[in-house]
């Protein structure tokens, strides 16, 4: 009797525990199509799409039918026919592509994915697989020993995601810390790495979703959402880079931004009135600190009404903007989604009359409190609203505004609780806020991008957003929200952009110096050093804080920051080339070390995430403390040239280098080319007719440099230039070849100045087989001459620009 009294309650407890969960069950029947296989399961339907030879899509529903609503994130069109093999065996079905083998167990239905050599890459948890709990969907995956996870968008912890659970729900949280989740940008995509082979999973579900990467258990990891389908893409590498490229094939890649947007940008909450804006601009020019853009925060508007100007603060915005343009400044205005619920206000009136705002289920327009007080919110899931919003932006574009800064677009309201029952068009399918919340900012960015393209079809404008979802990279740059002026956020300013880059967002940066609080001079310098190597380089600060412009600090700090920003402008050819590469490949510009050195275990360590590769040729190791004057860093295999020390290091080593406050450790990879140019106070200030090319020679390497006008979309019709640089070092001879691979744009170059690093004095130098002389003056004024800097071991060679050039050096 005692035994039964114990066993029966335990059994009842077990049954109750799993009563809410329904698993997919066994496979009952199937149909094969040219690009997919459809399965009917006991408790669900499953479609497996073959998207590409390395990409599969798994789509489950327990609702009887799959939704016809289009994806907000995926823009890739499923091919009508894909080559694959399908076989049925006694206990499973098998799908084969040239790269993947998928086994679908029949009872219960479970997925196992192998490479074409039958190495197991990923599999459903044996016991749970895909489950439903009323509306909730989950997918449980086997967690393997040594498996590492990365990605998931804007997360404020370290790059490695193992052992934690994350939520995708765009949230405004000022002064967040390393334990705060979720934040502004939700990207339900992660990369798994085991035995140095990589795969990716993109969960295409916009509802609040969760990713448990082995938190509190060692058996499985899982991902799921409060509602919607279990719809995920499996992407095989095995290279991490290929996973990201394939993911951005699905969700889109960045467009080339205007070249000026790679320059330094200055912001504050808020610059007003007009005299203040003019004073800030003039101060940059007076102190000869390069700057290309100034931002106007919410106080430029009339009562925080979007698309308006406060005429007392800015009586003649068109003239002000034109005057600033004459000094090389572009003006960027903040745009919030909240439209003041004022019936006398044209935007509110038009939105109500044309039914463009979101509503309650009873048909009443929703009003939420934000900066203008009670406000309407545009329904950006409705094409008519997207077109209208773009047309309203033309009001500011006509005044000369060059870019828009989308803020408060999580969407944020006072109280942080946008009602879930609020209704959206959802492209005509109808949905509530629970489905649309995470894509609201994505759709607002889409409306902004379409608006500026409609107004200026052949001119690139700049768009910046605080919130986003998968695919945000195709419309906008992103910054990491309201950071604090402290060392924790300085470290996060190094890590978070890397994480977003892994998640498909290359154009990324932080509020340099911290938005909230006041940095010490040393913290400010260290943040500026880091910021100058992030793709998006903007300083920003909160209301009522002390001034944080570079010229607002003491003369020594001002001088240091001036040099930092100037070096950024010298590096623009290299940076712009990396943006071009990102537009083609989807890869980050600011790269975690393991992205380039996937098989080097040291590159996965915590310390190695406190440095990064800028492109493929520069290693940047920022000092992330206001008190340190040294940096511990890791150099991967090969040789590396220290930019600051003018010396070389052997790779596969951890080293400690001196880094006084005026220096950020920079290393050039052996074989790396780095194109540079003269300093400008703003992009386009003067004609660039000389390209400086740094080279740390290796046995053999090559590099391609992309150039266009940096302003228009003419490059899409072939009006661009690609120059190939190659070098080969053997038998004490270095040969450098320069050839024009694509000649659709006149670069305007007249000269090359090559700086050959870490070499001995040459015996002879030839340009196009003609021996050139040694310029003892070291003034570089005469072409086809060279000079050797014995102290730095740098050989300088100045040549005429040519579409085909050969340099030979004998040592």
Catalytic residues: 407, 410, 482
Q: What is the full DSSP assignment across 690-705?
A: EEEEEE---SEEEEEE
The answer to whether 236 and 230 are in contact (CB under 8 A) is: no
* 40/28 Cα distance (integer angstroms): 6
Q: Are 657 and 633 in contact (CB under 8 A)?
A: yes
Tokens found for residue 542: 């909160």
CA distance 54 to 346: 51
**Is 385:339 a contact under the CB 8 Å cutoff?**
no
Q: Is 10 left (phi over 0), alpha (psi -120 to 50) or beta?
A: alpha
Q: Are 613 and 591 in contact (CB under 8 A)?
A: yes
Packing angle of the helix pair 240-251, 572-585 (nearest 10 deg): 70
For 125, 359, 376, 670, the CA distances from 379, given in Å and listed in that order, are 40, 9, 10, 52
DSSP letter for 519, please.
-
- Distance CA(101)–CA(113), nearest Å, equals 6
In whole angstroms, give the CA distance from residue 154 to residue 176: 12
Distance CA 565, CA 103 (A): 55
From its phi and psi, is residue 303 left (phi > 0), alpha (psi between -120 and 50) or beta?
A: left
409, burial (CB in 10 Å: exposed 0-12, middle 13-18, buried 19+): buried
Q: Which residues of 344-359 are buried (b: 16+ CB within 10 A; e: fewer)?
A: ebebbeebeeeebbbb
Q: Which helix (H) or strand (E) holds 521?
A: helix 521-531
């Amino acid at each position: 009797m005692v035994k039964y009294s114990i066993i029966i309650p335990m059994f009842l407890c077990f049954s109750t525990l799993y009563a809410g969960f329904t698993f997919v069950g066994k496979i009952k029947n199937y149909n094969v199509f040219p690009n997919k296989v459809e399965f009917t399961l006991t408790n669900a339907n499953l479609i497996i799409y073959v998207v590409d030879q390395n990409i599969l899509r798994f789509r489950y529903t327990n609702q009887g039918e799959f939704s016809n609503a289009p994806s907000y994130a995926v823009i890739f069109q499923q091919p009508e026919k894909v080559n694959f093999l399908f076989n049925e065996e006694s206990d499973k079905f098998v799908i084969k592509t040239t790269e993947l083998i998928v086994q679908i167990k029949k009872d219960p239905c479970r997925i196992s994915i192998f490479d074409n050599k039958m190495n197991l890459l990923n599999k459903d948890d044996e016991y749970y697989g895909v489950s439903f709990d009323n509306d909730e969907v989950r997918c449980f995956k086997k967690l393997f020993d040594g498996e590492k996870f990365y990605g998931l968008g804007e997360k404020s912890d370290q790059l490695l995601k193992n052992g934690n659970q994350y939520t995708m729900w765009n949230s405004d949280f000022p002064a967040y810390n390393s334990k705060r989740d979720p934040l502004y940008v939700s990207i339900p995509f992660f990369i798994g790495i085991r035995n140095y082979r990589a795969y990716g999973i993109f969960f295409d579900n916009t509802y609040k979703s969760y990713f448990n990467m082995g938190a509190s258990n060692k058996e499985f990891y899982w991902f799921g959402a409060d509602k919607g389908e279990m719809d995920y893409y499996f992407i095989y590498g095995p290279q991490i880079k290929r996973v990201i490229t394939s993911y951005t094939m699905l969700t889109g890649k960045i467009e080339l931004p205007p070249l000026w947007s790679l320059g330094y940008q200055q912001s504050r909450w808020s610059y007003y009135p007009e005299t203040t804006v003019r004073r800030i601009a003039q101060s940059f020019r007076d102190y000869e600190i390069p700057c290309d853009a100034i931002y106007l925060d919410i106080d430029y508007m009339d009562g925080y009404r979007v698309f308006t100007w406060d005429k007392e603060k800015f009586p003649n915005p068109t003239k002000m903007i034109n005057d600033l343009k004459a000094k090389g400044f572009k003006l960027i205005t903040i745009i919030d989604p909240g439209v003041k619920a004022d019936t006398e206000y044209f935007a509110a009136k038009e939105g109500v009359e044309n039914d463009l705002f979101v509503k309650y289920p009873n048909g009443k327009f929703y009003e939420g409190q934000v900066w203008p007080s009670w406000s309407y919110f545009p329904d950006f899931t409705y094409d008519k609203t997207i077109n209208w919003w773009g047309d309203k932006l033309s009001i500011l574009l006509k005044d000369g505004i060059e870019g828009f800064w989308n803020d408060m677009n999580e969407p944020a309201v006072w109280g942080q609780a946008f009602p879930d029952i609020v209704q959206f068009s959802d492209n005509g399918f109808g949905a509530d806020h629970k489905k649309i919340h995470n894509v609201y900012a994505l759709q607002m960015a889409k409306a902004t991008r379409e608006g500026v393209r409609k107004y200026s079809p052949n001119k690139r404008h700049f768009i910046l957003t605080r919130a986003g979802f998968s695919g945000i990279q195709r419309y906008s740059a992103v910054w990491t929200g309201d950071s604090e002026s402290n060392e924790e956020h300085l470290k996060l300013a190094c890590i978070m952009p890397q994480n977003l880059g892994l998640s498909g967002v290359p154009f990324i940066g932080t509020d340099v110096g911290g938005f909230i609080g006041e940095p010490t001079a040393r913290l400010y310098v260290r943040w500026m050093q880091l910021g100058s190597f992030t793709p998006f380089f903007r300083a920003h600060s909160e209301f009522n804080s002390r001034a944080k412009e570079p010229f607002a600090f003491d003369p020594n700090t001002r001088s240091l920051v001036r040099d930092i920003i100037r070096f950024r402008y010298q590096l623009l050819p290299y940076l712009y080339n990396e943006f071009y590469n990102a537009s083609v490949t989807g890869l980050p510009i600011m790269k975690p070390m393991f992205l380039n050195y996937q098989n080097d275990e040291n590159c996965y360590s915590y310390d190695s995430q406190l440095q990064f590769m800028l492109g493929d040729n520069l290693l940047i190791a920022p000092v992330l403390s206001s008190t340190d004057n040294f940096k511990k860093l890791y150099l991967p295999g090969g040789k590396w040239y220290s930019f600051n020390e003018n010396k070389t290091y052997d790779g596969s080593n951890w080293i400690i280098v001196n880094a006084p406050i005026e220096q950020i450790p920079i290393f050039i990879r052996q074989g790396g080319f780095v194109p540079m140019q003269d300093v400008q106070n703003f992009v386009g200030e003067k004609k660039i007719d000389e390209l400086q090319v740094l080279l740390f020679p290796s046995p053999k390497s090559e590099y391609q440099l992309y150039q266009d006008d940096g302003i228009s979309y003419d490059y899409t019709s072939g009006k661009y230039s690609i120059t190939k640089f190659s070098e080969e070092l053997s038998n004490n001879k270095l040969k450098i070849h320069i050839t024009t691979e694509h000649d659709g744009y006149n670069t305007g170059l007249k000269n090359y100045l090559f700086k050959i690093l870490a070499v001995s004095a040459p015996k002879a130098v030839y340009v196009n087989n003609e021996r050139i002389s040694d310029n003892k003056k070291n003034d570089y004024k005469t072409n086809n001459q060279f000079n050797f800097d014995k102290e730095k071991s740098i050989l300088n060679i100045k040549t005429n620009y040519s579409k085909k050039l050969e340099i030979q050096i004998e040592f």
